[in-house]
């Protein structure tokens, strides 16, 4: 299973040619994202909706929110389950991982629990997490 992180899913949404090319050639029937990435994307769209200053901006923000919901409806969204919760607790207890952001640890926990490959642009954020498999489809 390949799980697209927020940056990669955003690039897919925008039609980034490298992401699309990798998506078409990867030999994996399960391509999805995490509930954390879904939450991040929707939160960002809703923030734009509430911050829109004009009617035109509101309409654009609403359209982007709808398009994001449509994209997410077409992709597997892997939930945070008991196995991911156990992984999260172990990662949080590890001193070397304390500088990693909470959302990143949640994504890593889901990825590890599902023995998946995380498709991420910024490998540096996750490089120190032992056992986490990652690839970059954007700058590769």
pLDDT tens per residue across span 14-30: 888 888 888 888 888 89
Confidence at residue 134, expressed as pLDDT on a 0 to 100 scale: 87
Structural domain contains residue 92? yes
Cβ atoms of 112 and 132 within 8 Å: the answer is: yes
Structural domain contains residue 42? no
pLDDT tens per residue across span 43-98: 999 999 999 999 999 999 999 999 999 989 999 999 999 999 999 999 988 888 87
Q: In this model, does residue 9 exceed pLDDT 80? A: yes
- Count up the domains in the chain and report the number: 1
Confidence at residue 66, expressed as pLDDT on a 0 to 100 scale: 94
Confidence at residue 80, expressed as pLDDT on a 0 to 100 scale: 94
In whole angstroms, what is the distance from residue 123 CA to residue 21 CA? 19
CATH code at 108?
A: 3.40.50.1010
Confidence at residue 15, expressed as pLDDT on a 0 to 100 scale: 87
Please list, in sequence order, all residues whose beta carbon lies within 8 angstroms of the beta carbon of residue 15, skipping any fewer than 6 positions away. Answer: none
Q: In this model, does residue 100 exceed pLDDT 70? A: yes
Structural domain contains residue 130? yes
Structural domain contains residue 112? yes
In whole angstroms, what is the distance from residue 23 CA to residue 121 CA? 14
Confidence at residue 123, expressed as pLDDT on a 0 to 100 scale: 75
Structural domain contains residue 24? yes
Q: In this model, does residue 140 exceed pLDDT 60? A: no
Please list, in sequence order, all residues whose beta carbon lies within 8 angstroms of the beta carbon of residue 79, skipping any fewer than 6 positions away. Answer: 35, 110
Confidence at residue 59, expressed as pLDDT on a 0 to 100 scale: 96
Please state, as a whole number, how many other Cβ atoms lie within 10 Å of the Cβ of residue 63.
11
Structural domain contains residue 21? yes
Q: In this model, does residue 40 exceed pLDDT 90? A: yes
Structural domain contains residue 95? yes
User: Which structural domain range is residue 115 located in?
Assistant: 2-36+77-135
Q: What percent of the chain has pLDDT over 90?
A: 58
> Of the candidates 60, 38, 61, which has an alpha carbon nearest to the alpha carbon of residue 48?
61
Cβ atoms of 4 and 33 within 8 Å: the answer is: yes
Structural domain contains residue 61? no
């Amino acid at each position: 299973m390949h799980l697209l992180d927020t940056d990669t899913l955003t690039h897919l949404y925008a039609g980034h040619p490298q992401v699309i090319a990798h998506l078409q050639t990867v030999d994996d029937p399960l391509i999805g994202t995490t509930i954390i990435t879904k939450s991040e994307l929707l939160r960002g769209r809703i923030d734009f909706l509430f911050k829109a200053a004009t009617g035109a901006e509101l309409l654009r923000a609403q359209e982007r929110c709808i398009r994001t919901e449509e994209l997410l409806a077409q992709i597997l969204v892997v939930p945070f389950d008991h196995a991911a919760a156990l992984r999260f607790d172990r990662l949080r207890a590890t001193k070397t991982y304390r500088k990693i952001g909470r959302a990143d640890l949640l994504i890593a926990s889901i990825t590890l629990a599902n023995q998946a490959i995380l498709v991420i642009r910024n490998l540096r954020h996750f490089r120190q997490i032992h056992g986490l498999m990652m690839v970059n489809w954007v700058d590769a």
